[in-house]
């Protein structure tokens, strides 16, 4: 029998009624002839509640015990879905991460999957066509035997990795939206659902602010060539919409120049004024930040007229802004900056599309269009299939709408 992995997020399993609806989606695929493994998240809001209990118990909590607590949300959901499926007459059982097993690194709270042993699930497929309901977001560190968790959105990663391990025909990620859109429909009502998106495009969109899929899950899907659909669990289980297929670029007949517009409000800007323009200065700035695991993104260097000093501007995640300022202040003598400035009221807006590889002037058109709207660009980064601009957050919606229209994304296919 062909194999299929289905994943359902927190809003899809928020209560017993919605879990029963998920069971109907699963039953449809079983009737279609698939051996099905289902990966589930915790009920909506449950992980936040569990995290709160841990922090209330001890702000300096032990990371291993933190994982033991927060992983319990998925355990509850997997058991409830197995109960619902059995009530419908389908053979089913729940699996925890350590039972599969999903083997991970030791990094509690942000572990990475190292291996998945899907043999036991495969044996249950062969013996009884039993639906495997797997708790997402969690695994086990083989050396210690302790439960680990994969970080927020980790159930997406669990699902894609399981699909690769089982040799599944595809992985369907069910969420509260019916696919991947050209941009956020809440900002641009004319945003269009995409039929297909290349792995590379989806990876850029996920890393640049699109919240549909976790970045790591897209990386795994691309490496293992797992066709992945984004679909809505709120569709009629008997007549669902097709969703959006994340696939190889070669599987898309014609690539538009720009596929989508993403934006991220999780940005902060730091500028070092009048830094000595000499070898070793960049290392003095970015070395300590790297040691503190601060992810630096956009970097711009402008040399002054006297050729002796330079201004260096870069961005960091908003959550790391204050810590980054403190690190730079503590290394001020080594850096030699005369002044350190910062801003948190900024946003990064990006245009993504594999079609950029074969078209010139894509970014320059955007710069001109933004200038016509009076939007000042603070920083720019580019790659082969995307460009990003840093602007004042007050202009977010105007910038997104301007670029969405500029590249013809308002038009229905």
Does the annotation place 62 within a ligand binding site?
Answer: no
According to the model, what pLDDT value does residue 394 have? 96
- Helix (H) or strand (E) run with residue 2 in it: none
Does the annotation place 211 within a ligand binding site?
Answer: yes
Does the annotation place 9 within a ligand binding site?
Answer: yes
- Please tell me the pTM assigned to this model: 0.86
CATH class of the domain at 3-250? alpha beta
According to the model, what pLDDT value does residue 408 have? 92
- The hierarchical CATH code for the domain 254-413 is 3.30.2130.10
Please count the residues of the chain.
Answer: 413
**Whether 228 contacts 5, CB under 8 Å:** no
Q: How far is CA 160 from CA 1, 5, 195, 199, in A?
A: 19, 8, 20, 13
- For the chain, the straight-line distance linking the first and the last C-alpha, in angstroms and rounded, comes to 35
Does the annotation place 97 within a ligand binding site?
Answer: no
Does the annotation place 144 within a ligand binding site?
Answer: no
Q: Is 198 left (phi over 0), alpha (psi -120 to 50) or beta?
A: beta
Give the residue among 352, 355, 292, 287 at the shortest CA–CA distance from 321: 292
Bridge partners for 225 per DSSP:
none
**Residue 319: which residues within 8 A CB-CB, separation 6 or more?**
266
Does the annotation place 38 within a ligand binding site?
Answer: no
According to the model, what pLDDT value does residue 245 have? 96
- Helix (H) or strand (E) run with residue 387 in it: strand 386-392
Q: How would you write the pLDDT of the chain (413 residues) with one tens digit per residue? A: 899 999 999 999 999 999 999 999 999 999 999 999 999 999 999 999 999 999 999 999 999 999 999 999 999 999 999 999 999 999 999 999 999 999 999 999 989 999 999 899 999 999 999 999 999 999 999 999 999 999 888 999 999 999 999 999 999 999 988 999 999 998 999 999 999 999 999 999 988 877 788 889 999 999 999 999 999 999 999 999 999 999 998 888 777 899 999 999 989 999 998 888 788 888 889 999 999 889 898 998 887 666 778 888 999 999 899 999 999 998 888 888 888 999 999 999 999 999 888 788 899 999 999 999 999 999 998 888 999 999 999 999 999 999 999 999 987 75
Task: Provide the token pair at 180.
Answer: 């991947």
Does the annotation place 8 within a ligand binding site?
Answer: yes
Bridge-based pairing of strands 3-8 and 170-175 is parallel
- All structural domains of the chain with their residue ranges: 3-250, 254-413
According to the model, what pLDDT value does residue 296 have? 92
Show the CA angle centred on residue 184, arms to residues 230 and 14, nearest 5°. Answer: 55
d(CA 72, CA 80): 13
Does the annotation place 175 within a ligand binding site?
Answer: yes
Q: Give the distance from CA 348 to its chain's centroid.
A: 16
Q: In the chain, what is the greatest distance between 2 CA atoms, to the nearest angstrom? A: 79
Q: How far is CA 288 from CA 262, 271, 298, in A?
A: 30, 16, 17
Does the annotation place 176 within a ligand binding site?
Answer: yes
| Helix residue ranges per DSSP H, 88-198 | 119-128, 154-166
Does the annotation place 186 within a ligand binding site?
Answer: yes
d(CA 226, CA 22): 22
Does the annotation place 263 within a ligand binding site?
Answer: no
Bridge-based pairing of strands 339-343 and 309-316 is unpaired
Does the annotation place 119 within a ligand binding site?
Answer: no
d(CA 349, CA 266): 11
């Amino acid at each position: 029998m062909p194999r299929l992995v289905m994943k359902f997020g927190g809003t899809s399993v928020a209560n017993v009624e919605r879990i029963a609806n998920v069971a109907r989606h699963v039953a449809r695929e079983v009737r279609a002839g698939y051996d099905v493994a289902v990966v589930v998240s915790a009920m909506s809001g449950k992980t936040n509640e569990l995290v709160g209990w841990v922090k209330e118990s001890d702000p300096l909590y032990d990371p291993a015990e933190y994982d033991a607590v927060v992983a319990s949300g998925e355990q509850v959901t997997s058991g409830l879905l197995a109960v619902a499926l059995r009530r419908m007459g389908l053979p089913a059982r729940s699996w925890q991460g350590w039972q599969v097993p999903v083997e991970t690194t030791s990094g509690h709270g942000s572990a990475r999957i190292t291996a998945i042993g899907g043999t036991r699930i495969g044996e249950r497929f062969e013996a009884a066509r039993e639906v495997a309901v797997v708790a997402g977001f969690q695994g086990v560190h083989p050396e210690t035997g302790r439960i680990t968790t994969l970080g927020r959105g980790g159930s997406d990663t669990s699902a894609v990795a399981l699909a690769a391990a089982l040799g599944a025909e595809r992985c369907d990620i069910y969420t509260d939206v019916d696919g991947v859109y050209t941009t956020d429909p809440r900002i641009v009502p004319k945003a269009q659902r995409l039929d297909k998106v290349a792995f590379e495009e989806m990876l850029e969109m996920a890393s640049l602010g699109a919240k549909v899929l976790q970045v790591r899950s897209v990386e795994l899907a691309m490496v293992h060539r797992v066709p992945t659909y984004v679909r809505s669990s709120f569709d009629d289980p008997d007549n669902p919409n097709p969703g959006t297929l994340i696939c190889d670029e070669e599987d898309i007949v014609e690539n538009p120049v720009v596929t989508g517009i993403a934006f991220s409000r999780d940005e902060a800007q730091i500028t070092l004024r009048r830094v000595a323009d000499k070898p070793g200065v960049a290392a003095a700035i970015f070395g300590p930040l790297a040691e503190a695991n601060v992810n630096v993104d956009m970097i711009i260097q402008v040399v002054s007229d006297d050729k002796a000093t330079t201004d260096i501007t870069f961005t960091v995640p908003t959550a790391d802004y204050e810590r980054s300022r403190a690190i730079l202040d503590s290394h001020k003598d080594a850096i030699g900056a005369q002044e350190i400035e910062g801003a948190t009221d900024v946003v990064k807006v990006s245009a993504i599309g594999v079609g950029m590889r074969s078209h010139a002037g894509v970014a320059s058109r955007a710069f001109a269009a933004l200038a016509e709207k009076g939007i000042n660009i603070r920083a720019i980064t580019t790659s082969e299939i995307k460009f990003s601009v840093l602007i004042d957050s007050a202009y977010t919606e105007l910038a997104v709408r301007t670029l969405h229209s500029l590249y013809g994304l308002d038009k229905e296919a």
